[in-house]
């Protein structure tokens, strides 16, 4: 390698990139990789990244080409990219663009149809050889063009993506009804928030990825102000709707009379309407009546909050909203069911993303220290774990008694800091709450009671809360700086990132956040923990692993 110096990156095979973490340029390489590669394994000294179709298509949609990707890899490896990888990248990125959806013209008074067009007649022949595509395509107009009914826009795009020919959707978007709304004069967007909105506005569809605590809601409200149109906001539940109402009142000039809730006993359809995914997916007498009402309204913008949680059923049910502007919001564009490509297809490509630790270095989110504390099961617990299978094995690991002493030690260490003890299994959480006289919030806790407890934590009247999975999302507790995770939902990367995210709002005194995960050694929980940490490792976080005896 004359004239070069070895970088931290090694290209291995056609789709694998190895990042040496002890190299001084590792962080720069990681930031570059997040634009087009997917972190597959993070065992400690060497991270393994994978080149996937979805990652490369997102990069292409964001304006990168194969040459830029190859130059990036070569610059950080200090060596030519293997030919097999060159071909892999070119082949994948070349598949985004040759298939397009455009506006058609109305003829004879009929409603306008869309046009499916391809670069070559051979490609259209190939696509029309697939039954799922044929089902959604109308008349073939010429060698490279066919008509499409607008109602088939979403299902057709899904079928094309599954053939590895994703559609570049250029068809026009319904403007919706005008809405007089602006940001409050004192609402000043941060530079990355402005960049995120601008990146999304160019296309009017797609996903903005920002860390928890970095202001995704304010960013979305800026998009609402820019589009000034009737808006449907889809959320994960009642608590999330309440938070959106609060932020609309705080950051925008919208009138309270123009904001409605559709769900939780209310049926208000107003210029800005908040609804839940669960409401959309509710079937009565064989019909999705709520969806029909929402789908028929004159929306100009649909916002999908926590879009990575979009229920599988809703992918198909909301296909008819394809003619509207669509904005997905998430901190973690990963799904354990592998359906990230469906988000890409129906909501749009990733338009903006930034590594979490970049925002930490700029002071926009709190610095965090992540620690995995390993406890040793006793003989009976090891035997129970060996005999159990599936979910029962994870439950045994989660309930290892030694965790209780670790929680007590950590609560004592951080006694003067606002703290969350968070987990999945209610029996263990209940025992912790009872042992320390702490309030417990679960799915059964009424929303009004939750609100009082959360407000008490914000005001300092309460210093520690025990939370079930209801604490994963839509929880704004700015001053909380410690989280002790005692159990999790298997290997969920989403959950790991969301739980850390509860701590990342900047603290008034600038203090560091402390995120602890208590793990039973040599159990399935240890395997799950390694998987859960992958997304955060990609963002630049490092986990210190300590034995409980060394705390």
For the chain, the structural domain boundaries read 9-93, 99-103+112-169, 191-354, 360-550
Which CATH number is associated with domain 360-550?
Answer: 3.40.50.300
Q: In 3D, which of 497, 475, 217, 207 has the Cα closest to residue 356?
A: 497
Angle between helix 238-251 and helix 447-459 axes, rounded to 10 deg: 50
Count the alpha carbons within 13 Å of 203 in the hemisphere toward its beta carbon: 22
| 478: region left, alpha or beta (phi > 0 left; psi from -120 to 50 alpha) | alpha
Rounded distance between C-alpha atoms, residue 69 and residue 233, angstroms: 35
Kindly tell me the burial class for residue 135, based on how many C-beta atoms sit within 10 Å of its own C-beta (0-12, 13-18, 19 or more). Answer: exposed
Other Cβ atoms closer than 10 A to 152: 21
Q: What pLDDT does residue 318 have?
A: 66
Q: In 3D, which of 156, 83, 94 has the Cα closest to residue 120?
A: 94
Q: What pLDDT does residue 2 have?
A: 39
Helix runs in 296-446, H state only? 312-317, 340-346, 356-361, 379-387, 390-398, 402-413, 426-436
Rounded distance between C-alpha atoms, residue 206 and residue 203, angstroms: 8
Longest C-alpha distance within the chain, in Å?
Answer: 80
Q: What pLDDT does residue 43 have?
A: 66
Radius of gyration over every alpha carbon of the chain, rounded to an integer in angstroms: 25
Rounded distance between C-alpha atoms, residue 81 and residue 36, angstroms: 15
The reported pTM is 0.85
> Are 36 and 59 in contact, with CB atoms under 8 Å apart?
yes
3-state secondary structure 298-342: CCCEEEECCHHHCCHHHHHHCHHHHHCEEEEEECCCCCCCCCHHH
Rounded distance between C-alpha atoms, residue 491 and residue 331, angstroms: 17
Give whole-number Cα distances, 442 to 88, 105, 407, 410, in Å. Answer: 47, 54, 19, 22
Looking at residue 178, what DSSP letter applies? B
Rounded distance between C-alpha atoms, residue 89 and residue 493, angstroms: 26
Count the alpha carbons within 13 Å of 350 in the hemisphere toward its beta carbon: 25
Rounded distance between C-alpha atoms, residue 84 and residue 81, angstroms: 8
Rounded distance between C-alpha atoms, residue 536 and residue 352, angstroms: 17
> Are 327 and 304 in contact, with CB atoms under 8 Å apart?
yes
Q: What pLDDT does residue 517 have?
A: 96
In what helix (H) or strand (E) does residue 485 lie, and over which residues does it extend?
strand 482-485
> Are 211 and 333 in contact, with CB atoms under 8 Å apart?
no
Kindly tell me the burial class for residue 133, based on how many C-beta atoms sit within 10 Å of its own C-beta (0-12, 13-18, 19 or more). Answer: buried
> Are 488 and 532 in contact, with CB atoms under 8 Å apart?
yes
Q: Which residues have a Cβ under 8 Å from the Cβ of 355 and sit 6 or more positions away?
A: 30, 31, 34, 538, 539, 540
Q: What pLDDT does residue 228 have?
A: 95
Rounded distance between C-alpha atoms, residue 61 and residue 55, angstroms: 10
Angle between helix 216-227 and helix 191-201 axes, rounded to 10 deg: 50
Rounded distance between C-alpha atoms, residue 244 and residue 228, angstroms: 17
- 360-550 has the same fold as 191-354: yes
Q: Which CATH class is domain 191-354?
A: alpha beta
- pLDDT tens, residue order, the chain (551 aa): 334 458 999 999 899 999 998 899 998 998 899 889 988 777 668 888 999 999 999 999 988 999 999 999 999 998 889 999 999 999 999 999 999 999 886 544 445 789 999 999 999 999 999 999 999 999 999 999 999 998 899 899 999 999 999 999 999 888 999 998 999 999 999 999 999 999 999 889 999 999 888 999 999 999 999 999 999 999 988 888 988 999 999 999 999 999 999 877 788 899 999 998 888 777 777 777 777 767 778 899 999 998 887 766 666 666 668 889 999 999 888 887 778 888 888 898 989 988 888 899 899 999 999 999 999 999 999 999 999 998 999 999 999 999 999 999 999 999 989 999 999 999 999 999 999 999 999 989 988 898 899 999 988 899 999 999 887 877 778 889 999 999 998 888 889 988 998 899 888 888 899 999 999 999 999 999 988 998 888 787 889 999 999 98
Rounded distance between C-alpha atoms, residue 152 and residue 431, angstroms: 52
Bridge partner list, 206? 327
Rounded distance between C-alpha atoms, residue 6 and residue 335, angstroms: 35
Residue 57: both structure tokens together: 């298509």
Q: What pLDDT does residue 8 have?
A: 94
Can you list the pairs that 60-67 forms with residues at least 24 positions away whose Cβ atoms lie under 8 Å?
A: 60/93, 60/96, 60/97, 61/96, 61/168, 61/206, 61/349, 61/350, 61/351, 62/35, 62/199, 62/349, 62/350, 62/351, 64/35, 64/36, 65/93, 66/90, 66/93, 66/94
């Amino acid at each position: 390698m004359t004239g070069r110096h070895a970088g931290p990156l090694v290209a291995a095979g056609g789709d694998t990139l190895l990042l040496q973490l002890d190299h001084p340029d590792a962080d720069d390489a990681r930031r570059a990789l997040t634009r087009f590669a997917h972190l597959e394994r993070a065992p400690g000294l060497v991270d393994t990244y994978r080149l996937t179709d979805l990652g490369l298509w997102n990069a292409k949609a964001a304006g990168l080409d194969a040459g830029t990707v190859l130059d990036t890899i070569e610059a950080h490896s200090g060596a030519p990219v293997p030919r097999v990888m060159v071909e892999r990248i070119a082949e994948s990125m070349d598949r985004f663009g040759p298939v397009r959806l455009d506006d058609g013209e109305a003829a004879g008074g009929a409603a306008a149809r869309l046009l499916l067009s391809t670069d070559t007649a051979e490609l259209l022949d190939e696509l029309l050889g697939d039954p799922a595509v044929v089902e959604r395509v109308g008349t073939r107009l010429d060698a490279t063009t066919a008509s499409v009914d607008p109602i088939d826009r979403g299902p057709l795009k899904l079928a094309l993506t599954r053939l590895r020919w994703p559609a570049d959707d250029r068809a026009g978007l319904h403007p919706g009804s005008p809405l007089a709304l602006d940001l409050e004069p004192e609402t000043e967007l941060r530079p990355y928030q402005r960049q995120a909105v601008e990146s999304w506005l160019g296309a009017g569809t797609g996903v903005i990825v920002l860390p928890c605590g970095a202001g995704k809601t304010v960013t979305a409200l800026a998009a609402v102000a820019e589009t000034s149109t009737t808006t449907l906001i889809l959320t994960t539940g009642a608590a999330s709707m309440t938070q959106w109402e609060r932020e609309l009142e705080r950051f925008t000039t919208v009138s309270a009379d123009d904001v409605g809730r559709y769900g939780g006993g209310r049926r208000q359809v107003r210029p800005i309407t908040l609804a839940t995914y669960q409401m959309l997916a509710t079937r009565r007498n064989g019909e999705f009546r709520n969806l029909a009402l929402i789908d028929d309204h004159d929306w100009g913008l649909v916002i999908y909050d926590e879009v990575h949680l979009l229920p599988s059923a809703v992918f198909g049910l909301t296909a008819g909203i394809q003619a509207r502007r669509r904005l997905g919001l998430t901190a973690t564009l990963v799904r354990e069911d592998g359906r990230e490509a469906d988000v890409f297809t129906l909501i749009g490509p990733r338009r903006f993303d930034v590594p979490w630790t970049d925002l930490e270095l700029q002071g926009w989110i709190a610095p965090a220290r992540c620690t995995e504390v390993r406890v040793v099961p006793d003989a009976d617990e090891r035997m129970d774990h060996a005999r159990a299978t599936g979910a029962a094995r994870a439950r045994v690991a989660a309930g290892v008694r030694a965790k209780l002493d670790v929680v007590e030690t950590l609560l004592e260490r951080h006694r003067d800091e606002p703290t969350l003890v968070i987990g999945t299994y209610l029996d263990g959480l209940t025992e912790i709450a009872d042992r320390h006289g702490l309030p417990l919030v679960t799915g059964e806790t009424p929303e009004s009671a939750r609100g009082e407890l959360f407000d008490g934590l914000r005001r300092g009247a309460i210093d520690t809360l025990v939370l079930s999975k209801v604490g994963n999302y839509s929880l704004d507790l700015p001053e909380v700086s410690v989280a002790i995770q005692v159990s999790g939902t298997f290997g969920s990367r989403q959950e790991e990132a969301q739980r850390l995210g509860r701590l990342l709002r900047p603290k008034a005194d600038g203090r560091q956040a402390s995120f602890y995960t208590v793990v039973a050694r040599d159990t399935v929980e240890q395997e799950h923990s390694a998987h859960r940490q992958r997304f955060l490792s990609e963002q630049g976080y490092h986990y210190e692993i300590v034995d409980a005896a060394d705390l």
